[in-house]
Homo-oligomer: A and B are copies of this chain.
Amino acid sequence: VIAGYAVGQTQEPITPIQPPKQINLGMSELGKKLFFDPRLSKSGFISCNSCHNLSMGGSDNLQTSIGDKWQQGPINSPTVLNSSLNLAQFWDGRAADLKEQAGGPIANPGEMAFSHTLAVDLLGSIPAYQREFKQVFGKDKVDIDQVTLAIAEFEKTLVTPNARFDQWLLGKQDALSKDELDGYKLFKESGCVGCHNGEAVGGNSFQKMGLVEPYKGNEKAEGRSAVTGKDADRFNYKVPTLRNVELTYPYFHDGAANTLTEAVDVMGRIQLGKKFTQDENAKIVAFLKTLTGDQPSFQLPILPPSADNTPRPTPFK
């Protein structure tokens, strides 16, 4: 035997979450403040954390999000936890990475309804931000690139290591119960791991929603074809991570499944043509709950106050 082999399950299709690497701490601390700062929205009320609440698994637990002026969003808010591991961002993958993604919601009229120019002017008018940006980026003027870089750097820290499943992968035999292990076996043998695999248990491919049987959901969304223009990509979505899936209800891009039991049942039927028994379903759900890792752990950020000349929010205009 190769030394160390026995300590872990090295042949599994799921691999343990690694701690974040090469984080620029100053940049990520700044990004954390920005992530929590509702002044990046027109109303002064909505921050990234409003829809990706880090107290609640990095999503809002709503079917579709609430944006500026209580607008109903078109799609379910995915978790930002472990989103650095995704092959691309958004359900349809239209943003290449976290930096590209972070510019979107600020200027999206249905989300934060602000603009990049307004956001940059606002931040530049706040003395403590101005100083912090200068310290981190060495430039005299705040620009949107710095804003999205800092937010992305913070998001890179939002990985969730140490799930019970990872402890098991790393050799702690008693980390999982028999039912949970049975559930994992079913998850592998039924073919779920074909799409949900790797470090994030998903996030690394686009797949058709409704492979065996069409999905009867909110069919306004087109999926990946909206990006590629290819008909073959219709109803293809980025396979979501199943890390912390216990916390990110409701499920699917339209938030139509309220419970894991329902989501597992749908997946079995429409992706694999398989109807799980109640007992099988419960075991898979038990396994999925072992994927909940250490949640973000940091002090509530304290935001620097606006100055007299900082533009004020206009929530009702």
Contacts and interface: CB of A to CB of B under 8 A. Distances in A.
A36 B54 CA distance: 11
B55 A313 contact: no
A110 interface: no
A214 to B, nearest CB: 26
Give the residue among A43, A55, A306 with the most B Cβ atoms within 10 A: A55
A62 B317 CA distance: 13
Nearest to A312: B258
Contact of A70 (B69, B299, B312): B69
Interface in A23-47: 36-39, 43-45
A2 interface: no
A305 B250 CA distance: 11
Nearest to A63: B312
B259 A305 contact: no
A5 interface: no
- Chain A: interface size category: 35 or more
Contacts of A61: 39, 44, 306, 313
A135 interface: no
A162 interface: no
B55 A312 contact: no
A261 interface: yes
Please indicate which of the listed interface residues A63, A70, A249 has the most CB atoms of chain B within 10 Å of its own CB.
A70
A308 interface: yes
23 contacts: A37-B55, A38-B56, A39-B61, A43-B62, A43-B66, A44-B60, A44-B61, A45-B50, A45-B60, A45-B62, A55-B300, A56-B303, A56-B305, A62-B313, A66-B315, A69-B70, A70-B315, A72-B315, A250-B312, A258-B308, A260-B308, A296-B300, A297-B300
Given A38-B56, A249-B305, A299-B299, 12 more contacts: A37-B55, A39-B61, A43-B66, A45-B66, A55-B301, A55-B303, A62-B315, A249-B306, A258-B308, A261-B308, A295-B302, A298-B300
Closest 3 CB pairs of A and B: A70-B70, A259-B308, A295-B302
